[in-house]
Every structure is written in structure tokens, then in C-alpha cells.
Amino acid sequence: MVYTDTRDKSVKADFKTAVLNGMNASTGGLYIPTSFPKINKSYIDRTPEPSFREIAFEMAKPYVEGEIPDSDLDAIIQDAYPFMPQVVPIDKVTYVLELFHGPTCAFKDFGARFMARVMSYFNRSENDNLHILVATSGDTGSAVGSAFHNVPGIDVTILYPDGKISPLQEKQLSTFDGNVRALKVKGNFDDCQKLVKTAFTDKDLRNKFRLSSANSINISRLLPQSFYYMYSALVVKNRIPQDSKIDTPAIIAVVPSGNFGNLTSGLIAYEMGAPITGFLAATNSNHTIPDWIATGNYKARDSVATLSNAMDVGAPSNYERIAAMYSLEQVRQLFASYWTDDAGTLEAIKRCNEKTGYVIDPHGAVAWKAWDEMRRSGMKDLVAGAKGDINKPGMTANIPSWASEVTDGKAVGIVLETAHPAKFGQTVQNAINRSPSMPDRLERVMNLEDHAIPMEKDYESFKDWLTSNL
């Protein structure tokens, strides 16, 4: 596969370059495949549907062709995914896609574990370790740390702001041993990020060590997230005849979004032929993308803190990829979009539980609410001419090409549940008056001893530490 750049279409790169560079430093653009090959139709029509790992292999193959042979790709996938997404029906037309069955209980495990193994693969013939530096304000650190733990040829240093992340998050990223270390920095997240950025531009350090980042813009994190869209759409397609008896239903993927990486992965699956009709993009009060869809003006802004904090992004980095793949008019045909505030999020956790019995986390709740409102009255109102006020929670005014499927009752929703509710236990408890059950793997990590290393926020202290410890 040839990869190009969102800012300069004359750029041509192979997969290895795109993965190891992360972004294109000379343009500031993001790597993107030049085509999205369609999956064989016989595959999509198979009943029962192929397994998750089979789908993962088929979908990854064209993107690594010529660089990773089939047998090695298969080994990477088997090793990355000892767990699976789960499709859970909660009413006749609503399926929750649980993406939290990986080690850190959040959907980022799907992307991070594939990226870690691909990086290790491309580093296999080097004598020196590749050193990953990552600054985190919470969740990314644990997904990246866990994904690289014990992966050969790579070590990871995680920087987080001391005292500014939740106790569970701190345990999740500071209790690794071996190749994953955590530094608790006496400062805030911006200080952590500054230390990492300074290290990347420090020639002296770069001459001594091979440094790399593992952030969410890496194409090797986006591609594997497309696997679960294809898988869940095929599972749902095969179930609908029993569940809701709708003839040729429209499948709508409902995606709780921050940086819009997850949604971009959905677009990749759509282009590859997943039986998905459209997308419902759901955000919290950080509604930069809904506003863009509504007004046509993309205006990045500072983020505001919300209960679904992994979606607190005011300048979504994957806007660039979406705008490189589609015109605004195409986006308005393909997406409905919606946002809600914290009061709406709490209400959604409560109502979802009352109506369906399902305990949903604050991120998934934003998506569930978007779907619930759209299918009950939101789309009808839009079609009837409601304008949609972008300053108030609710749907934006664009009418996607599939609107009549919703108003005719011929649509089903796949609501992506991106984190286990126990990771946000207090918020869930506030909404439903009981705490969600705690999975064993979270319980276990709470009892581990942490090995975080205290670090000052000045660059010299950090550099000294790197020089004597890498």
C-alpha cells in the first residue's frame, strides 16, 4: 500500500515509514492510505460471519502488502487479540458494541496492541531498542504501556502529572515492570508534553537513542480499529432477521468521539464494504465537529472538562483525515451529528439503565443518548424542518441521505461502548445509585505495588534520567 499525506498529496510513503514516523514532520500532515480496497463480497455474505481474527487479517492485509508476509501478519494478530469485541443487544433495534474486553478495559487496546507489535516487527533487525516516550493525562498511558509490555526490542517511558490523574489510572500505568516505566512529573500535563517534545527535538539525545512516539495519530492505531466495525456490522446483519424482523435494515454506527480516530476507523471499514449505512457522530460539550457539520466552518478551540473526559478534545486531530477523505457535503450525507452536556450524560446513564437494564459508561452514554433521541423524534423533527441550534445540546440540522430509513423505523443502531463502566465508577454511581461491577483485571491492578519514579519538570533532570536509564 502506498500512503500519502493529508497536507501534500504528492507524498508517497510505505507502511513502515508511516508507522515509524507517526506523522510527516516536514508538512505536519497525517499519513493516510491512497486507497481502501473492498473486502471480498463472499466474505461479507458468509453465515455465520467469519471470526473477529479472520476479519482482522483480511482487512489488515492490503495495508501491509509487500512489507509484512501473511504468516507474520497472522502472528501479529493472534498475539494482539487474545480478547474480542462483544455485540450485546439491549433492545430490538439497539446493539451495544463492547470494546472494553482488552487488558486496560478501554477501546484503545485494539489500536495500541496492533501498533506495538507492528513497531516491534519493523524494529526486529535493529541492534538497539526503540524508545517510546509518551505523555499522558490519563487513559492513553495505560493503553500504550500495556500494549508494549514485554514486546521485544522496545521500551516505553510514560510521563504523567503527579497527583492529577485518578488513583485507578495511576495504578494502571505505574505498576508495570521490565520494559515499561512511569515518571510522575511535578507539574501538569502540559509540562509532561513539553518534556517529551523537547526530547524529540534534542539532537544530542537523538544521536544517542532511537526515539519514537506512540500517539493516537499513528496510522497503525487507526487501521485495526476498523476491524470491529466490520465484525459488528456482520454480526448484527446476521442477527436482525431474528431480533427485529426488519427487511434490509440500515445499520447506523453511533460513535462517542473526541479526537475522531475511532470514527475515522469506521469510515475505513465503510469504504472497505462493511454493511454500514451511516454514522452518528456524538460528542460531549467539546462539539467542534458537530459545529463544523452544521455551519461549514471548522473552528478548533480549547477543550472543556466533562464527565466523558477521554472525549475532551477541542481540536480533533482526525478532522484532517476526514476532510481529506470527503467533501463537507459528503460528510453531511453520511453523518448525523449530535452533542450533549454533563447533565445529559448523567441522564443518559440513568435512562439507559432504567429502559434496558444495561449499565453504560459516560462515553458510551453520550452515544446511546444520541441514538435514542435520533430514532425517537430527532430525525423526524429535522425532516419536518427543525433547525437545530448548535449552541444547545441536540442534533445538528443536516439531513443525511439515510434519514428516511430512521423515520420509517428501518434502522438499527450499533452504539460503541468505549470503556468499562467500572473505570468511571463514581459517575455511574451518581447516575444510578449503585456502583458497576469491577472486572478482575481492574481489581487486580488496584492491589499491585506502583513503581512510579518521581521527576522534576525541568528538562535537564529529565534528560539526565534518560541518559543514565535508557
Ligand X SMILES: *Cc1c(COP(=O)(O)O)cnc(C)c1O
Q: What residues make contact with ligand X under the rule CB under 6 A? A: 106, 108, 139, 256-262, 310-311, 363, 418-419
State in angstroms the smallest separation of the CB of 226 from ligand X.
12
Q: How far from chain centre, in Å, is Cα 128?
A: 30
Judged by beta carbon, residue 288 or residue 418, the one nearer ligand X is 418
Nearer to ligand X, 102 or 261 (CB): 261
Question: Closest approach of Cβ 128 to ligand X, in Å?
Answer: 31
User: Exposed e or buried b for every residue in 71-103, given b needs 16+ CB within 10 A?
Assistant: eebbebbeebbeebbbbebbeebbbbbbbbbbb
Shortest gap between Cβ of 138 and ligand X (angstroms)?
9
* Least distance in angstroms from the C-beta of 253 to ligand X: 13
Q: At its nearest, how many Å lie between ligand X and the CB of residue 380?
A: 28
Q: Which is nearer to ligand X, 175 or 257 (CB)?
A: 257
Shortest CB 364 distance to ligand X, Å: 8
Closer by beta carbon to ligand X, 143 or else 235 = 143
| Least separation in angstroms between CB 419 and ligand X | 3
30 vs 130, beta carbon nearer ligand X: 30
Query: Which CB, 161 or 261, lies closer to ligand X?
Result: 261
Closest to ligand X by CB, 191 vs 361, is: 361
